[in-house]
Structure 1
């Protein structure tokens, strides 16, 4: 999978905005096949943006997710 450069985040957001506009235009004109194709592209662009944001959070140390490691079990001492 290709990774988006963090410097291109604004461009990716612009692409998403443009796709929304193109979907609206296609709906107005009744281009149902075009709407469907653009929605697939929009979904993938949103997923790419979300993945980029997650990677930026990890890189900046702002991801404060908690991982439950469970409770360790301790064996009784041997005689």
Structure 2
């Protein structure tokens, strides 16, 4: 499975929009064989756009791993005094 590059999202939107226009034209002119192929291509373009959106949502969501940060650690004081 090929992963689309995020910077190609605009191009995928153009492709999807072009496919939608061609589907409308094929329906209007009764080209049913072409219509089926265009719908398959449209489904693929929409899937790729959904992959890009899911990847973007995943990357923008922070995950707490439960690892303490430096301020959390540095602010703690030990309970036992140091021995000279």
TM-score, L = length of structure 2: 0.70
Distance of 2:17 and 2:4 partners within structure 1: 17
Gaps of 5+ in 2: 63-84
SS of 1:2's partner is coil
Q: Does 1:12 align with 2:12?
A: yes
Alignment match, 1:26: 26
What is the 5 A alignment of 1:68-79? none
SS of 2:11's partner is helix
Alignment match, 1:73: none
What is the CA-CA distance between 1:60 and the residue it aligns to? 1.7
Q: Does 1:57 align with 2:63?
A: no
SS of 1:4's partner is coil
TM-score, L = length of structure 1: 0.74
What is the CA-CA distance between 1:59 and the residue it aligns to? 1.2
Gaps of 5+ in 1: 63-79
Q: How many aligned residue pairs are there? A: 62
